[in-house]
Chains A and B, each alone.
Chain A
Amino acid sequence: MLLEIILSALIIIGAIFTLVGSIGLVKLPDFYMRLHAPTKATTLGVGAILIASAVFFSLTDEGLSLHELLITLFLFITAPVSAHLMAKAALHIQAKQIERTKPIQKQTHSSESSL
């Protein structure tokens, strides 16, 4: 009973954070800011759902279920890489950013793909 409540809470928390990530994707004003929302939802949102899944299957099926660790690991490796690639591509085509963004300090950062 108590376990069921905890697991449901974890799943709901996960769902809420994933939802906030999607809302951010619609709501935030420019590309670079929108980039923050989905890369973040994966960490805590998916994290909470995976913990719930690991606990549930460890207790109901026979034996420990540790698949979820691997999913977390792969997510943590791939999410930042895809965000990095999209940001790099956006910098390259000079995607629009809202005016109040504090600009890059030119003298400290030099790269062929920079603005």
Chain B
Amino acid sequence: MITRLLPHPLLTLALWAMWLLLNNTLAMGHVVLGLILAILIPWFSQRFWPERICIHQPLTLLRFIGIVMWDILVANITVARWVMGPNDKLQPAWLSIPLDIQSPLGISLLANTISLTPGTVSCDLSADQRSLLVHALHVEDRSAAIAEMKRRYEQPLMEVFRSC
């Protein structure tokens, strides 16, 4: 019953929060209207979301978000220095990261995270979804960079987004 009424509870929550933020209010009318929309929209767009999303370890997810925020901050400063310094010394490289993570949402979050942290942009996912092609602005040791990304980002995402 509850799964038929709310096929994607997380999506419902996210839409509700987004509606209230968009209107920048907690007025009763908007709370109710937002709730109605948040229930109806996942219902109508059900076939668009084939995968049911489960979050297994919310604490790991929170810690992951913290790590990413910190990395963005630190790496932004590093990249700003690289950009302003002499560009001839930069050693760009293609990294091909073998993926152990399988959930589609996990893969897209990993690709997004890699692009958001400065110095790396994810460029292409292989057709079999087993490896991610990443362009790095400056890398000296390729295998170390790959291992670092796998440990820092892929590991926690794998723990959080396992199949339900």
Contact = CB atoms under 8 A, between A and B. Distances in A.
Interface of A: 17, 20-21, 23-24, 27-30, 32-33, 35-37, 39-40, 43-44, 47, 63, 65-67, 69-70, 73, 76-77, 79-81, 83-84, 87-88, 91, 97-98, 100-105, 108-114
Contacts of A100: 91-92
Interface stretch (B35-43, B129-137, B150-158): B129-137
Contacts of B111: 80, 84
B24 A111 contact: no
Contact of B83 (A28, A35, A73, A80): A28
Interface in B119-153: 119, 121-128, 131, 133, 135, 137, 139, 142
Given A101-B94, A103-B94, A111-B133, A17 B80 contact: yes
Given A70-B21, A80-B122, A84-B122, 6 more contacts: A17-B80, A44-B77, A80-B114, A105-B96, A109-B124, A113-B124
A27 B87 contact: yes
B84 interface: yes
Given A80-B112, A111-B127, A36 B21 contact: no
Contacts of B21: 66-67, 69-70
A23 B84 contact: yes
Interface residues of B, number: 43
Query: Nearest 5 CB-CB pairs, A to B?
Result: A80-B115, A102-B93, A87-B123, A44-B76, A24-B83
A79 B115 contact: yes
B34 interface: no
Interface in B70-127: 72-73, 75-77, 79-80, 83-84, 87, 90-94, 96, 98, 111-112, 114-116, 118-119, 121-127
